[in-house]
């Protein structure tokens, strides 16, 4: 029997999560452009990867390691992780990738000694809101007209994590 997601799509079996490299940027930019009305540029990802000392970037790849299917950019400052950007390629959505990838990011935060994870999300992004709530995030505030493209507010969400030493 093939496991199905709640939306009836076949769950994706194994995939790998690893640190993003410069070679991943074209695949990441493709997902970014398919996912957001105001996407980050290639140079933004390059900056985060090469110059921002607070940034940690990850990708999820297919089992064969040939295709980037998801990515995330986070900042670790003191004992907090801020998820700045996370997206799954549309072909791989509703197949369990986002849930498992977010779980990895939360586990990474805990392994870095962090006590909380925060993020912003558009109120219109019901799929993301559902994912974050399922992972235990709670809304703690609103940033008025946060998104410059639509002037939509951002819901600020927060998750408490139990810090632990890296394995």
- The catalytically annotated residue of 32, 48, 92, 132 is 132
- The catalytically annotated residue of 120, 146, 147, 152 is 120
Strands 80-88 and 68-77: antiparallel
100-103 long-range contacts (CB < 8 A, ≥24 apart) are 100/15, 101/17, 101/58, 101/60, 101/70, 101/72, 102/131, 102/132, 102/135, 103/135
Does the annotation mark 92 as catalytic? no
Does the annotation mark 120 as catalytic? yes
Q: Which residues are catalytic?
A: 120, 132
């Amino acid at each position: 029997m093939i496991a199905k997601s709640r939306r009836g799509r076949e769950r994706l079996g194994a995939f790998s999560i690893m640190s993003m490299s410069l070679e991943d940027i074209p695949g990441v930019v493709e997902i970014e452009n398919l996912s957001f009305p105001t996407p980050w540029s290639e140079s933004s990802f390059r900056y985060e990867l090469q110059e921002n000392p607070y940034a940690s970037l990850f990708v999820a790849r297919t089992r064969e390691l040939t295709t980037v299917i998801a990515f995330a950019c986070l900042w670790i400052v003191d004992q907090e992780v801020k998820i700045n950007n996370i997206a799954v390629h549309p072909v791989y959505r509703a197949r369990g990738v986002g849930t498992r990838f977010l779980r990895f990011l939360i586990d990474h935060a805990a392994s870095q000694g962090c006590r909380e994870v925060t993020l912003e999300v558009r109120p219109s992004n019901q799929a993301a809101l559902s994912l974050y709530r399922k992972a235990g995030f709670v809304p703690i505030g609103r940033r008025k007209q946060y998104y410059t493209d639509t002037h939509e507010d951002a819901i600020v969400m927060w998750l408490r994590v139990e810090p632990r030493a890296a394995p």
